[in-house]
Every structure is written in structure tokens, then in C-alpha cells.
């Protein structure tokens, strides 16, 4: 397959085997791929809005995988499948299930014990989820949709605005977001919390 495109800052490059998982043979450019993925993501958002979800429905591996499959399953054969290769970030591929289980257990504890404000619980969860980097690609968008689902379904609060723009193309808003992620990597969540509601 001749799919070859430039990656935006902060994006995880796909391995050649992962590129072979593209389900739409006519896609040849980054722009076309973005369009098909965006349509699939919109379908996933609609699917999530129609569901009544409790804490136990959301904070489990099955839901994490299913949401990714709903977001990318019309575009990528590997949607909803944990990555089988190591990337430029994220835990080792063999540690994904274990680290995800730890995160899910922590999140349930945070919710039950009101360990932080609702926004901080959700942003901490989103940050750890993207840091694990469960899937070959789409982890940032997946973690943001997970955050929106949690804040809506668990806390009945408005979804996050995420800079009120598409974070995919390069630009000032994406750079601000990536800087906030790097600060959260050091344990400072204030910029990511602020950005999530900007």
C-alpha cells in the first residue's frame, strides 16, 4: 500500500504492518484519512450519547476497547486492539493490560472516595490513559472522548471544550495542548485542567 503521510507534532507514527490495516483503499493523503476518521469519531460520539452508563460500565477494559473500535472501526482493522509494537511513547506493549487495570482501579477509587474534584479526576484519568498509549493510533482523541463520557455520564457536567477547536492540525492551540500534557507528565495538571475548559 502506498499510504505515506507526514505526522503532526505529538502524533504516534504507524508501523508498516499497522498501515496495512487501513480498510479504505482509496485513502491516499493525510487529509482524506482525517476526514474518514472524523466521520467515524462522530458516529462514536453519537453512540456514546445514546447510552446510559454507570461507573462500572465505563471503567473497564471492555469499554475502553469498544469505544476505540467505535471511533476507528470503519477505517482501521486494528481498531479496539491493543498495540503489538512499542512506540515513541507509552508503556511497553506487554504492560498495557496491567497498567490499564491499575488506572481503572485507581479511577474507581478516586470516584468513590471523591479524591479530587470531578474535573481533576477525569483529567488525571485522561492523562494516564494517553500515557499508557493502548492502541496503535488515535490515543489522544480516544482519551479526550473518554474524558467527555466520564464527565457527562458520571458527573452530569458539561463535556470539555479542549480549546474549542480541532486539535489535529498543527497550530497554537495544539501546541498549548501538548505543553499542558508535558506539564501533566511532571505531575502538574493545572495547565491541562485549564486547557480542557478553554
- pLDDT tens-digit series, residues 41-76: 999 999 999 999 999 999 999 999 999 999 999 999
Mean pLDDT of 18-23: 92
In the chain, the largest separation of any two C-alpha atoms, in whole Å, equals 51
Cell of 88: 515513541
Mean pLDDT of the chain: 92
Closest of 151, 168, 165, 171 to residue 195, by C-alpha? 165
Instruction: Tell me the pTM.
Output: 0.93
Tell me, rounded to whole angstroms, the distance of Cα 146 from its chain centroid: 7
Q: Is the pLDDT of residue 118 over 90?
A: yes
Delineate the domains of the chain, giving CATH numbers in brackets: 16-160 (1.10.3290.10)
Which range (68-82, 88-102, 109-123, 158-172) has the least confidence? 158-172
User: What is the band of 87 on the pLDDT scale with cuts at 50, 70, 90?
Assistant: very high
Mean pLDDT score, 143-166:
94
Amino acid at each position: 500500500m502506498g499510504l505515506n503521510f507526514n505526522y503532526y507534532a505529538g502524533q504516534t507514527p504507524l508501523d508498516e504492518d499497522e498501515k496495512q490495516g487501513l480498510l479504505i483503499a482509496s485513502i491516499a493523503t493525510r487529509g482524506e484519512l482525517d476526514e474518514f476518521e472524523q466521520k467515524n469519531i462522530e458516529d462514536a460520539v453519537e453512540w456514546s450519547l445514546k447510552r446510559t452508563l454507570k461507573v462500572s460500565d465505563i471503567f473497564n477494559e471492555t469499554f475502553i476497547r469498544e469505544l476505540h473500535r467505535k471511533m476507528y472501526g470503519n477505517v482501521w482493522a486494528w481498531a479496539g486492539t491493543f498495540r503489538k509494537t512499542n512506540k515513541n511513547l507509552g508503556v511497553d506493549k506487554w504492560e498495557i493490560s496491567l497498567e490499564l487495570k491499575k488506572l481503572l482501579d485507581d479511577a474507581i477509587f478516586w470516584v468513590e472516595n471523591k479524591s479530587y474534584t470531578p474535573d481533576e479526576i477525569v483529567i488525571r484519568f485522561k492523562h494516564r490513559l494517553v500515557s499508557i498509549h493502548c492502541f496503535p493510533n488515535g490515543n489522544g482523541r480516544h482519551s479526550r472522548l473518554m474524558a467527555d463520557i466520564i464527565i457527562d455520564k458520571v458527573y452530569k457536567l458539561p463535556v470539555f471544550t479542549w480549546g474549542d477547536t480541532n486539535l489535529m492540525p498543527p497550530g497554537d492551540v495544539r501546541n498549548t495542548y501538548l505543553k499542558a500534557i508535558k506539564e501533566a507528565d511532571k505531575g502538574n495538571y493545572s495547565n491541562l485542567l485549564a486547557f480542557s475548559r478553554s
